[in-house]
Amino acid sequence: MATGALLLFVTNVVCINVSGVATFLIQGVRPISWWEATTAKRATRKAMLIWGLLLAVLVLLILFSQRA
């Protein structure tokens, strides 16, 4: 039962982070200076990649845990 609760918790954290980054991108929230904009663009890509991979792993874990 604890594993299921942990899986739900991690899924919620990942989805909240993905939706937060997506909201900032859609709203057009950008840094003011050029150097910060370059750094932020790179960090945003990296964050979306990491959160997307974590979400894919969680989906697989949820699917496999339901079959057991």
Q: What is the pLDDT of residues 35-56, one digit of tens each?
A: 788 888 888 889 889 988 998 9
CA 30-32-37 angle, 5° bins:
60
What pTM did the predictor assign? 0.67
Q: Say which residue, 45 or 66, is predicted with more confidence.
A: 45
For residue 33, what is the DSSP state? Answer: S
Return d(Cα 64, Cα 6) in angstroms, integer: 15
Return d(Cα 17, Cα 33) in angstroms, integer: 24
Return d(Cα 36, Cα 65) in angstroms, integer: 42
5-40: pLDDT as tens digits? 888 898 899 889 889 888 988 898 877 777 788 888
**Total number of domains constituting the chain:** 1
Is the pLDDT at 68 greater than 70, yes or no? Answer: no
Domain that holds residue 26: 2-67
Residue 61 · residue 7 · CB < 8 Å: yes
